[in-house]
Chains A and B, each alone.
Chain A
């Protein structure tokens, strides 16, 4: 019997799997499966969505026959499997539901394709389907395999040595490109209320899209964040065509910064960045190629995501503990020639500069706070500590992720080429630089 671990390429969902069962009257039945999930060398799991006939037959008769196809070589395998049990909750169910939701949410079909149960089967036989036309065929020579674990460990060490969070983030995206060849990547961080994720950094796209948002629970990124589990899709076109067969339409995003992204991505992977139980962000990569990310890549990214999460948390703590020296006064007067017109909407903390949308949420509130202090006191130097203690910012007392939000705000100002900048002047210290005299209108209602 072929070991299931040696045919992992059959479990990527690139080429559909097919299942045959027998009904109570002895009539065979065939269903296509959107995905067969590898559990271990002796077990697989099938998603029970529409396959009521298949589900009923396997519960009655116990047995099923499968065709699995390797997504890269095309090689086929024939499996005999025996139904063990159905799970409607638990880690496996959550992982499968998240994966199916991500596939179907490409077309807004999350409800229709909802998972009923994760059906677990024991594999009693797994044999390659012979092909006389290809006798002696060994397939194309394998590309030299990247030692992903070693590469991830080395990159994790580089991230661990980064002196501050800003450079750690850049080193992570640069490393994913240079070491792993993952050219398109993003890091997103959750908002305070957990309802959306905001792009903190990106690489490999036409625009950086800093400050662009993804709703929690939607798409590969939002679902990975919600489920706190890695999510990998190897052939988006299949999901699109499959969902199109069911019918549906794309949801339209409200006012926002466009999310950077490949319009024709065929592979996507999102890995939550978790440290001590807290979800601090999502590391996301995508590719225009099918099958761009393997299980080993998912494992490598999980290692890096953990390192990033720990790094963000550590830099956050360091900035929090930085000495709260008395903030210095204005270092140099702003050039008076230019007027910088800001508008702040209190209901969603959004800030506009000269009619252009900048950012919303906590980073918007932070910017408003800094500008207000400048207008009131003429002060341009700030410490994280005093910002954290400002009651009007309504930051949570613990885990406010202030440093991350300041990085987001600083990067967004840079990308926007705004006439004001935040400069990091030391651990837990920053300076507001202005190209002119700001004014700020506050809009109280929506």
Chain B
């Protein structure tokens, strides 16, 4: 589902946002802090600080849908994954390591774009982390422009002409 090139992108210093919905189909939104791809790209983990994003984390349940975007803040290159949640767990030591590495890389990238440490401190917390494991179902290109929203991979199969 997620090939090696795409995995390298979403595991890199990209701004990560996730959206879920409640019983009444109302959306909620929050930021992730670090992602790893698993099982040859058929699964992925994203870490979410619960204290910052209580609304979205309250809507994360196995079997429920999840959307995630991964955006390179320098180039605006961006992709959206539509997924089904597989499992939820408190973050472990390896997850915390991942969040810290992610935070360092993102800070370096955003600093180069003129963002200050004081600003980033509001977005990049590693406290009270939750790990959400999900199965990617669809992958869309979302880089701004006429091609935004085009599907790259659907239901595990690449779409013709859709390589990122």
The answer to whether residues A52 and B114 also contact, given A27-B65, A131-B121 and a CB cut-off of 8 A, is no
A165 within 8 A of B: no
Contact B149 A20 (CB under 8 A): no
Chain A residues near B149 (CB-CB < 8 A)? 50, 52-53
Chain B residues near A30 (CB-CB < 8 A)? 17-19, 29, 67-69, 80
A64 to B114, CA, bound (A): 30
A26 to B64, CA, bound (A): 9
Q: Which A-chain residue is minimally distant from B26 (CB atoms)?
A: A63
Q: Which of A22, A50, A241 contacts B25 (CB 8 A)?
A: A22
Residues 67-83 of A contacting B (Cβ, < 8 Å): 67, 69, 72-76, 78, 80
Chain B residues near A80 (CB-CB < 8 A)? 26
A130 to B82, CA, bound (A): 27
The answer to whether residues A132 and B125 also contact, given A20-B29, A22-B27, A241-B75 and a CB cut-off of 8 A, is yes
Q: Which of B25, B68, B120, B145 contacts A246 (CB 8 A)?
A: B145
Residues 109-164 of B contacting A (Cβ, < 8 Å): 113-116, 118-123, 125, 127-128, 142-146, 148-149
A172 within 8 A of B: no
Contact B77 A245 (CB under 8 A): yes
A247 to B122, CA, bound (A): 32
A66 to B118, CA, bound (A): 22
A129 within 8 A of B: yes
User: With contacts A63-B26, A73-B122, A246-B144 known, what are 9 further pairs, Cβ within 8 A?
Assistant: A15-B119, A26-B25, A27-B67, A27-B82, A29-B19, A65-B26, A66-B29, A67-B31, A76-B122
Question: Can you offer 24 A-B residue contacts whose CB atoms are under 8 A?
Answer: A18-B17, A19-B29, A20-B19, A20-B27, A26-B25, A28-B67, A30-B29, A32-B78, A61-B25, A63-B26, A65-B26, A65-B28, A65-B55, A67-B29, A67-B30, A69-B123, A73-B118, A74-B120, A112-B145, A129-B53, A132-B128, A244-B75, A245-B77, A245-B144
Residues of B that sit less than 8 Å from A by CB: 17-21, 25-31, 51-53, 55, 65-69, 71, 74-78, 80, 82, 113-116, 118-123, 125, 127-128, 142-146, 148-149
Residues of A that sit less than 8 Å from B by CB: 15, 18-22, 26-32, 50, 52-53, 61, 63-67, 69, 72-76, 78, 80, 112, 129-134, 139-140, 237, 241-242, 244-247, 290
